[in-house]
Structure 1
Amino acid sequence: MLLYNEEQQHKNIMPQRGSPETLKHLSIVSMATHMDSVWAADYIHNYLDQYHFMYIIGPFDALPSHLIQELIEFLVQKRQLGRRHLHLMIHQHLESLHLGKCSSCMTDAVIKLVQIRCKKLKKLDLSRCNRLTSYAMSIALSYLPKLVYLNLYSTNCTDEVLGTIGAICVQLRDLNICKTHVTDKGIVSLCGGGNGIHGCKKLLSLDVSFNPRVTINGVKHALRQLPNLRQLLHNDVCDALVVLHEEAFKEGKTTTPYQLRSGTVNDFVVPVSFLEIVDLVCPNLEYIFVLNENLEGDVLQHISRLARLRNLSVSCTDSVVPFSEGLMSLLASVGRGLETLTLYGYDDIDVIAIGQSCPNLKTLTLESCHGFKLEHPQTVIPTALFGNLKSLRLGVEVISNTLEPTLPNSLKIVLEGGRQIENIEITNVEGFTDELFRQVLNQNSFQKLREFALIDCNNITGSSMFELLEGKNDLQRLVMLNCKEVMRRDYDQMMKVVASEHFQLDITWT
């Protein structure tokens, strides 16, 4: 049972209580509620489907892009958005328009309105608008030369559309053509270097993943023609870089370093052939996903030279190179710059070593872990580690739960030090008990905590969760899935407290 005295009431005990909606939000709700009866009434009754207008001076012309966007998304959320509303909301002053969430309303007629009216448009999102024909998209984009951001994810984009983009949208910085119908021919048209088309030379980010007709040749062309690329997403990127390096070597030339920040796409493991030259071709790499068994010899030295590495993922498929050798050597070199560390399948994780090597770590994910160890824990002050951590995700193999005496202490060290932590997810940790959690709460009140999830943790009870609710934190989401000692009556009581105290807190229990 939660008890609050008068002094606590004045301290604004968290989780946060509900607050009145902002005037802006109430205005959006009011406009959406009375859209057909007031704001669009005259247009619907007198003009809709009777005339075709290039321009309309309507009730929304004075609204800036971000408010138009909020109104569109609110209507989508309430399943009330229709093409008649877009006829009025698409106006000549818009600089940003994200229509991916209303793909069912997007037709060739609607995109033509964008083409005619939105001459100032800089950002356009048409993702999943697969009712649009490639012809209509191509014509519309030919009228939008100021675009710097374009999202055509999962649309009917073709090589012809890319030809229009390469010829007209030369200011483009960010383009997503994932899951489209483009080929190597379209990549040549987009990037230039053929047919006299200048191409989008200013592109910083290009997503061509999940396009089976874009081959390694198309990727190589993009790398050659787009010197400013920071992100190129395609499964052949690493292989293309290796081929380009080999071609330069055969010609007696030095490989010009590329500006890419990512060496993988969708958790695609980086091949050894790329790791052996990674510091030569991509010295500015910020994210990489490697296999544990590759962390030795020359490969380890090349990765260690990546001074800008911020996000490291390592998968341990066997124990040829233990944590204490390959990975610890790498963390000693690049750990101070790391902000995100993800480890899969390790059986000898030392969280103290991670905390000491990675003082600026913000996100720590330990998935499918088999084992933990602690080297000289008595010489370490736990609260001195993980001081910048904001997100922790810990998933342990079920078979290891009763065989891991060091796991509870490892988890305790991370949680006690994580005073800035906002998100916690713990799965299959039998050693996470009420007693352990109370010890942690005595050291760390989790004032920044927003989301807390327990999955298959069978030695934690509802009483611990009530202590969390009583604490001074910013909790907004609490998840308890398949935790056998958290009962239905605990959940019901929590929901009563949330209602009576007007907490802004979502609780999930099964």
Structure 2
Amino acid sequence: MKGHDLINSYLPDELIIEIFRHMHSKSSRDACALVCKRWLALERNSRRTLRIGASGSPDSFVKLLARRFVNVKNLYVDERLSVSHPVQLGRRRGGSQSTLSSLKLPYMIERGESDDSELESNCFSDAGLIALGEAFTKLKKLSLIWCSNVTSMGLQSFAGKCRSLRSLDLQGCYVGDQGLAAVGECCKELQDLNLRFCEGLTDKGLVELAIGCGKSLKVLGIAACAKITDISLEAVGSHCRSLETLSLDSEFIHNEGVLAVAEGCRLLKVLKLLCINVTDEALEAVGTCCLSLEVLALYSFQKFTDRSLSAIGKGCKKLKNLILSDCYFLSDKGLEAIATGCSELIHLEVNGCHNIGTLGLASVGKSCLRLTELALLYCQRIGDNALLEIGRGCKFLQALHLVDCSSIGDDAICGIANGCRNLKKLHIRRCYEIGNKGIVAVGENCKSLKDLSLRFCDRVGDDALIAIGQGCSLNHLNVSGCHQIGDAGIIAIARGCPELSYLDVSVLQQNLGDMAMAEIGEGCPSLKDIVLSHCRQITDVGLAHLVKKCTMLETCHMVYCPGITTAGVATVVSTCANIKKVLVEKSKVSERTRRRAGSVISYICVDLSIPH
């Protein structure tokens, strides 16, 4: 009824807050908060998470946030973002001078030159961290990303105030042992700790933390901490009996440290190792002791052999996710042991393990029938028969990634298409034996396919995309560098995939032109991102047809397209209301366009254009 506020009269605060909690879009919450003062206050009370920049005036800014968002439990502070201190925009009629619009939340630093001394003085430091501790005493999660001016002094003060903290991310912070020891002493509920690139830490700090809050710690990440050695891991093994996830990237960790964790942390579920001095002995202990292991990732090991995988296969029957990257001494025998012993495997990635070939992967197809995702990168010895076996056995496969697999061809892809009809994602890059035949089979059989990427596959042409357009409704398509694809293939996608939101047709220099762009505009109204770089036949005319109908477009990359001029760039920024990023040569941006949309225009770092 006109003149009556029925919503505010009848809806209690609790119900409105519950509505806010179910809104996952920040823009939606912000829009609802502008309805009235009551909704603004309720939205602020319901806000549990804040993401802010790390520069500016940390003390006053953090205190202002604390007054407005009193129930925040999760706080992310990122040195890569800049924060603008609130600017009063004037008194609202009937309201106070302090309005929602006066609070400018973080934005990315605009391009331009800055004075180094000014940047140094504005970086987030101990003062900001102390203010955080005083303002947000109920905090459960704190993430400080690359806040290099934060030291032990700030962390000690913060830990003393926020004793209910459960998650702490100190990536790139130069904190010392005293700060970490204070966290162990004060934060007895801490469960998740990330110490990646914390170069100021030594064994002393981590040992004291393990003693202080080891009973609650479940997740620990360490990388590039040169002064953390096996002594720390021995303390973790002794005191952190509930540890479930350990991620280690260190050349200073040896068998003793990993052995201590394996023997002491028997509830371990996730283990990720990049430790060049760890050998089979440590992995054999993991296979013997960590029977609940579900995720194992091994990177760049040159001292592991098939003994390690045999031990994992015998003991870790619950293993579901295995990543093997640049492990040169692993062979088919080791992968066969995993396949035979770990039949619950659902994700497998083999990257650059040059001694693993067709027989090893074929054993996975025979034994791991629940496999849903397979990634093969730089696997020159794996041939068609391996993927044929995967197609026969792994009926639930949903994602396949192939990169630089020179022995895999059309027969393998046909086998996958015929056997794995639930396939939703297919990414292929530089596999030169794969052509139209395999991709046509995918279009004919894999009706659930949503994400297709065929990058620099020289034998794939229009016939393949015509079959895809007729059989699948894609959301994501990348055919960058597939020189045989032209207008006919892209037009088939435009007519068959109305829900397409991402399209990369870069480096299709000869056969793709304005006709395809016009069809994409007509057929794909949901398109948000398009990459047109290095397409010589696309002009302002095709671009105008595209943006006229694709009203949801957010990003457009169009560098080195000689047919696109200053007028075409102006058309994009003036037509697309939602545009967020335009990548183009600087010479194609007029002064008027720069004034109108300078914040969304990006330029290539190096001008590679050929001089006249």
- Counterpart residue number, 1:261: 295
Report how far residue 156 of structure 1 moved: 1.4
Report how far residue 476 of structure 1 moved: 1.0
Report how far residue 470 of structure 1 moved: 0.8
- Counterpart residue number, 2:434: 372
SS in 2 for 1:155: coil
Find the partner of 2:385 among 325, 347, 351: 325
Residue 515 of structure 2 aligns to which amino acid in structure 1? S
The 1:271–1:242 alpha-carbon spacing in structure 2 relative to 1, beyond 3 Å, is closer
The 1:390–1:188 alpha-carbon spacing in structure 2 relative to 1, beyond 3 Å, is farther
- Counterpart residue number, 1:191: 210
C-alpha distance in structure 2 between counterparts of 1:327 and 1:68, whole Å: 45
Report how far residue 245 of structure 1 moved: 4.3
Determine if the alignment matches structure 1 residue 457 to structure 2 residue 508: yes
The 1:359–1:162 alpha-carbon spacing in structure 2 relative to 1, beyond 3 Å, is farther
Find the partner of 2:332 among 285, 288, 296: 296
Residue 187 of structure 2 aligns to which amino acid in structure 1? C
C-alpha distance in structure 2 between counterparts of 1:354 and 1:119, whole Å: 54
Determine if the alignment matches structure 1 residue 111 to structure 2 residue 173: no
- 8 A contact 1:454–1:480 mirrored in 2: yes
- Counterpart residue number, 2:247: 232
Determine if the alignment matches structure 1 residue 243 to structure 2 residue 281: yes
Find the partner of 1:93 among 47, 67, 71: 71
Report how far residue 180 of structure 1 moved: 0.7
Structure 1 unpaired stretches of 5+: 1-20, 32-58
- 8 A contact 1:291–1:315 mirrored in 2: yes
Find the partner of 2:30 among 24, 27, 30: 24
- Counterpart residue number, 2:223: 209
Determine if the alignment matches structure 1 residue 310 to structure 2 residue 362: no
Report how far residue 346 of structure 1 moved: 1.0
C-alpha distance in structure 2 between counterparts of 1:217 and 1:355, whole Å: 51
- Counterpart residue number, 2:456: 396
Residue 90 of structure 1 aligns to which amino acid in structure 2? A
C-alpha distance in structure 1 between counterparts of 2:348 and 2:128, whole Å: 41
Report how far residue 264 of structure 1 moved: 4.2
The CA RMSD over aligned residues, in Å, is 4.2
The 1:292–1:130 alpha-carbon spacing in structure 2 relative to 1, beyond 3 Å, is closer
- 8 A contact 1:395–1:427 mirrored in 2: yes
C-alpha distance in structure 1 between counterparts of 2:293 and 2:285, whole Å: 19
Find the partner of 1:353 among 415, 422, 429: 415
Report how far residue 345 of structure 1 moved: 0.7
- 8 A contact 1:154–1:179 mirrored in 2: yes
Where does 1:74-223 land on structure 2 (aligned, <5 Å)? Answer: 83-91=59-67, 93-100=71-78, 101=81, 104=122, 106-181=124-199, 182-192=201-211, 197-199=212-214, 201-203=216-218, 205-215=219-229, 218=232, 222=236
C-alpha distance in structure 1 between counterparts of 2:237 and 2:56, whole Å: 44
User: In the TM superposition, what whole-angstrom CA distance separates every residue of 1:266-322 from its partner, at most 9, and x where no partner exists?
Assistant: x98995444343334553342514469856234234146351423535447677633
Structure 2 unpaired stretches of 5+: 1-26, 84-121, 254-271, 355-377, 552-571, 586-612
- 8 A contact 2:293–2:319 mirrored in 1: yes
C-alpha distance in structure 1 between counterparts of 2:310 and 2:164, whole Å: 41
C-alpha distance in structure 2 between counterparts of 1:407 and 1:221, whole Å: 58
- Counterpart residue number, 2:475: 422
C-alpha distance in structure 1 between counterparts of 2:302 and 2:436, whole Å: 29
Report how far residue 480 of structure 1 moved: 0.6
The 1:477–1:331 alpha-carbon spacing in structure 2 relative to 1, beyond 3 Å, is same
Report how far residue 121 of structure 1 moved: 0.7
Report how far residue 116 of structure 1 moved: 2.4
SS in 1 for 2:491: helix
C-alpha distance in structure 2 between counterparts of 1:324 and 1:90, whole Å: 60
SS in 1 for 2:188: coil
Give the TM-score of the pair, scaled to structure 1. 0.70
- Counterpart residue number, 1:69: 50
The 1:272–1:426 alpha-carbon spacing in structure 2 relative to 1, beyond 3 Å, is farther
User: In the TM superposition, what whole-angstrom CA distance separates every residue of 1:165-192 from its partner, at most 9, and x where no partner exists?
Assistant: 3333332333222111234444433434
Where does 1:429-440 land on structure 2 (aligned, <5 Å)? Answer: 429-440=482-493
C-alpha distance in structure 2 between counterparts of 1:301 and 1:346, whole Å: 23
The 1:494–1:412 alpha-carbon spacing in structure 2 relative to 1, beyond 3 Å, is closer
Report how far residue 386 of structure 1 moved: 5.6
- 8 A contact 2:465–2:493 mirrored in 1: no
The 1:184–1:80 alpha-carbon spacing in structure 2 relative to 1, beyond 3 Å, is closer
C-alpha distance in structure 1 between counterparts of 2:544 and 2:134, whole Å: 56
- 8 A contact 2:425–2:450 mirrored in 1: yes
C-alpha distance in structure 2 between counterparts of 1:270 and 1:454, whole Å: 43
- 8 A contact 2:167–2:193 mirrored in 1: yes
- Counterpart residue number, 2:527: 475
- 8 A contact 2:472–2:497 mirrored in 1: no
- 8 A contact 1:287–1:310 mirrored in 2: yes
SS in 2 for 1:142: helix
Residue 297 of structure 1 aligns to which amino acid in structure 2? K
- 8 A contact 1:166–1:190 mirrored in 2: yes
The 1:116–1:395 alpha-carbon spacing in structure 2 relative to 1, beyond 3 Å, is same
Report how far residue 155 of structure 1 moved: 0.6
- 8 A contact 2:190–2:213 mirrored in 1: no
Report how far residue 452 of structure 1 moved: 1.2
The 1:338–1:144 alpha-carbon spacing in structure 2 relative to 1, beyond 3 Å, is farther
- Counterpart residue number, 2:543: 491
- Counterpart residue number, 1:279: 313
Find the partner of 2:400 among 341, 345, 369: 341
SS in 2 for 1:481: coil
Equivalences, count:
436
Report how far residue 152 of structure 1 moved: 0.9
The 1:222–1:288 alpha-carbon spacing in structure 2 relative to 1, beyond 3 Å, is farther
C-alpha distance in structure 2 between counterparts of 1:149 and 1:125, whole Å: 8
C-alpha distance in structure 2 between counterparts of 1:466 and 1:369, whole Å: 31
Q: Pick which of 275-284 and 289-298 moved more.
A: 289-298
Give the TM-score of the pair, scaled to structure 2. 0.60
- Counterpart residue number, 1:45: none
